[in-house]
Amino acid sequence: MQITNSMVQVDGVSGGTFQLTGTMQVLNKAQVQFQSATINTNAILLFALGTNSSPVVVSNNLTLGGKLNVTNGGGFFSAGSYTLFTYGGVLTYNGLTVGTTPSNVTCTVDTSVSGLVKLTVNGFVPPPSTGTVQIVSIARSTNDIAITWAATGGTTSRVQVTSGAWMAVTTPTISPIF
């Protein structure tokens, strides 16, 4: 299950429990609410943490196990802690193993505060470096537009397309498909 820019709510008239045995991805701007939840020991969780991340809210009991992978959801630049789950009942903690994380950090799961499951992050993820971009050429061929640029001082160039889809042809040429 992948949740991004949306909300998932699982509850039941008779007290239903969400049970995860596979993979759940909680990505940017995801809101997840369960009445009760069981995350099995073979489950895999992927959380995109940063400025747009929200905890999974469990109204009642939470049984937690499995493997946690963490990715930078934008704004994951400094050490600190991120709330992964809030719960209103009893926590049965079967161990949540930390798997992959952004580079240069170490992460540990913290269940020391009742009602919260947090990820404590130590280390530092540097912000992306900035540079200048100079447009070299823009060429149109039927429905395609090829933009060529030269970037200096930065390690990453990004292109945002607001209409249609795009496909990278060669770096640094981008061809939008309309």
Segments making up each domain of the chain, as ranges: 2-123, 132-177
Whose tokens are 């498909």? That residue is 177
Supply the pLDDT for residue 31.
Answer: 87
Supply the pLDDT for residue 170.
Answer: 42
Which segments within 27-161 are labelled E, that is strand? 31-34, 37-39, 44-49, 56-58, 62-72, 80-87, 91-98, 105-110, 116-123, 132-141, 144-152
Query: Ramachandran region of residue 101, left (φ > 0), alpha (ψ -120 to 50) or beta?
Result: beta
Supply the pLDDT for residue 132.
Answer: 72
Q: Average pLDDT for residues 124-130, to the nearest whole number?
A: 60
Asked whether the predicted pLDDT for residue 16 surpasses 70, the reply is yes
What is the reported pTM? 0.68
Backbone angles phi, psi at 89, to 5 degrees: -115, -130
